[in-house]
Structure 1
């Protein structure tokens, strides 16, 4: 695994080294440096998210171009979420993440991005402020989920699907509160849901209620409608969480 070249801040690295020494914990130099990076990433992310609630996280592809209908939907979604008073949080990259941040930015809302450092150098989009770049995917997912009171999934590839399955697993196991998860684009998600219902549920590999928190929409307006219903019933509260 390749870590960031700039490494963890020197003070954090020294602190972890001192803790390891006092507790008589011996680590390899590589693992000590990696632990420093992980700690630094969490510290940066946690400090950025202080008093940013209520937050809704939107996931989606980095490969969608601005001339497509899905991009326009993302802009509308980000705009309407910001108008409702939510901080809009995304993975901070291009594509649908950029679209959602752009919409929130245009509505003068809080628009935050948590980008990932990868060899292909995924650029941070210009509409997220603040925006940070995280070294590890698992740290990024913690930050994207920890502060949110709802999750919206637009179409995406492996990364988006990874985030989707982690989120539904955390909902299934009660590791996160039972907030709504909205899947936008019924046609896109249909095949996956047919497999989940027709295979996982049929074979008893998941319980029938494990998908109760999933909702479906085809438009930004529909997705916003799901969010509004959960505001009305008290599942989502318009205050910091």
Structure 2
């Protein structure tokens, strides 16, 4: 651009870029948020693109180290690593830490995808590859995009959110050949009964949708179900 006479502006663009100490409200505007969302996708894709076969393991951050679900998480993480799969979790404590621990101790790849929360600490010590996200929906995309299946340990609202997101994606064929295994018959039987008797029974879902997931108490069965269609 050419400027002469009265159209010449004082200073240079570089000066305005480097010297400006104005309002920071632009940091909180939607256009800047779009850029941050884009950067999170780029960061996640870059970190996980060469991960190889993987399974996402979900469960409660509140599972105590001496609880049955924590022990199951360690065993599942260990078995998945032994089968040649990386283990992806939310990177936090509890059941997530357990699955990461099992994978790490078995010499597998242990991945943690953290989320910015006001009440949780950072990634657990068993994570080999870790990415922290601001936005839940970006993080959930990574869980699905880079995993060949889900194992869902007992958990709360966050675990249920991830479970039903996966079920919806499979039901609507947004993802295909994506096994979902609920681990712990005693924990999940009430939910499964409600889905069968109410959701399917009252016509809100198809009877075939009950085949979108499996329930088991057996670690070997869970690993076999979630990995059976993957060629290593």
- TM-score, normalised to structure 2, is 0.85
Find the counterpart in structure 1 of residue 5 from structure 2: none
Runs of 5+ unmatched residues, structure 2: 1-16, 18-25
Find the counterpart in structure 2 of residue 8 from structure 1: none
- Deviation digits for residues 23-71 of structure 1, max 9, x if unmatched? xxxx996102211221111111100111112111111111111122211
2:230 is the alignment partner of 1:236: yes
Q: Is 2:82–2:106's contact at 8 Å kept on the other side of the alignment?
A: yes
Runs of 5+ unmatched residues, structure 1: 1-13, 15-26
What is the correspondence of 1:214-229 to structure 2 with a 5 Å cutoff? 214-227=213-226
Query: Take 1:109 and 1:29, find their aligned partners in 2: how far apart are those partners?
Result: 40
Q: Is 2:87–2:111's contact at 8 Å kept on the other side of the alignment?
A: yes
What is the total number of aligned residue pairs between the two structures? 208
Query: Take 1:29 and 1:60, find their aligned partners in 2: how far apart are those partners?
Result: 32
Moved >4 Å (runs of 4+): none
Q: Is 2:150–2:226's contact at 8 Å kept on the other side of the alignment?
A: no
Query: Take 1:69 and 1:154, find their aligned partners in 2: how far apart are those partners?
Result: 10
Q: Is 1:178–1:213's contact at 8 Å kept on the other side of the alignment?
A: no
Find the counterpart in structure 1 of residue 47 from structure 2: 48
Find the counterpart in structure 1 of residue 167 from structure 2: 168
What is the correspondence of 1:70-89 to structure 2 with a 5 Å cutoff? 70-89=69-88
Deviation at 1:99, TM superposition (A): 0.4
- TM-score, normalised to structure 1, is 0.82
Could you say what the CA RMSD is over the residues aligned between the two structures, in angstroms?
1.7
- Determine helix, strand or coil for the equivalent of 2:149: strand
2:53 is the alignment partner of 1:59: no
Pick the structure with greater CA Rg.
Answer: 2
